[in-house]
Amino acid sequence: MRDIQNEFDSRKTPLQKVGVKGVRYPVTVLDKNERFQQTTAVADLFVNLPHNFKGTHMSRFIETFHKYHEDLTMNRFLEMLEEIREKLSAERAFGCISFPYFMEKKAPVSGSSGIMEYNCSYEAEVSAECGDSGEEHGSADIVQNVSRKFYISIEVPVTTLCPCSKAISEYGAHNQRGTVKVKLLYSEFFWIEDIIAMIESCASSPLYSVLKRRDEKYVTEHAYENPRFVEDVVREVYIGLKKLGFAWFSVECTNFESIHYHNAYAYAEYDGN
């Protein structure tokens, strides 16, 4: 049967990314307490396409992703991209999956349990310096160096209470829900749960899905005793991630202000210096 994708293209226009986008798929990731967790991911998978190839084979992305979806740990994600790169005779392979990560969380006083959702993503690139691949996908390449970059993003909802509002008011202070998002360059294994706990400790208060009245009293008073600007949250998370030894990371915080028409935002990035 004729293989159109594998035929020669004379337009001399290389493509940086070709592949599949928006693939919804059940996946299994690691869970610190339960060992494994099943969730649903949205995946984007790409390779580069040299100028002399007409197209890529889209089905091979899905076939490889299906092979790995039942054990998609951090290291396995890189293995999957390397296999995609090799199967499609590409120099570079790219992948991103986003998924909700669920954790059982107990209220601080009553101990009532509920489920919290945290948005996470894996984003990676595997690249190799290769010899001239010729005009057919089947040509032998000489791989000289293989490099891998892998980032994990975690988004955590929090409560923040305004230090200024507390300082200038005779009673009370405005507070609001916010989100903290970190993007981490992966080098050594870590638990998503540990990063979430550290981030929550840097805010005025964590969020909970179930709160009894005595829990609500505790959370309200705890937030009041721990006022935080977005700048404070970002700086505290920055210090926490630096202590954990990440070589590169970014931190951003957005407060969905309760008495302002705008949102408040802060961002910081660390590159090892």
Instruction: Please tell me the least confidently modeled range out of 31-45, 76-90, 133-147, 256-270.
Output: 133-147
Per the structure block, which two tokens stand in for 8? 């020669």
pTM recorded for the entire structure = 0.89
Local confidence band at 135 (pLDDT 50, 70, 90 cut-offs): very low
Asked whether residue 144 carries a pLDDT value surpassing 80, the answer given is: no
Placement of tokens 């889209």 in the chain: 58
Asked whether residue 226 carries a pLDDT value surpassing 60, the answer given is: yes
**3-state secondary structure (DSSP) of residue 7:** coil
Nearest to 53 by CA among 109, 112, 13, 84: 13
**pLDDT above 90: percentage of residues in the chain:** 80
Q: Please give the Cα distance from 159 to 151 (Å, whole number).
A: 26
Instruction: Please tell me the least confidently modeled range out of 49-58, 138-147, 172-181, 253-262.
Output: 138-147
Asked whether residue 139 carries a pLDDT value surpassing 50, the answer given is: no
Report yes or no: 109 and 215 within 8 Å, Cβ to Cβ.
yes
Q: Please give the Cα distance from 93 to 96 (Å, whole number).
A: 11
Local confidence band at 235 (pLDDT 50, 70, 90 cut-offs): very high
**pLDDT above 70: percentage of residues in the chain:** 90
Residue predicted with more confidence, 2 or 196 = 196
Asked whether residue 158 carries a pLDDT value surpassing 80, the answer given is: yes
Task: Determine the average pLDDT of the residues in 35-55.
Answer: 89
Local confidence band at 125 (pLDDT 50, 70, 90 cut-offs): very high
Asked whether residue 56 carries a pLDDT value surpassing 90, the answer given is: no
User: Where does residue 212 fall: left (phi above 0), alpha (psi -120 to 50 degrees), or beta otherwise?
Assistant: beta
> Tell me: the pLDDT tens digits for 163-220?
999 999 999 999 999 999 999 999 999 999 999 999 999 999 999 999 999 999 999 9
At 131 the pLDDT is 54
Residue type, 247: A
Task: Determine the average pLDDT of the residues in 104-121.
Answer: 98
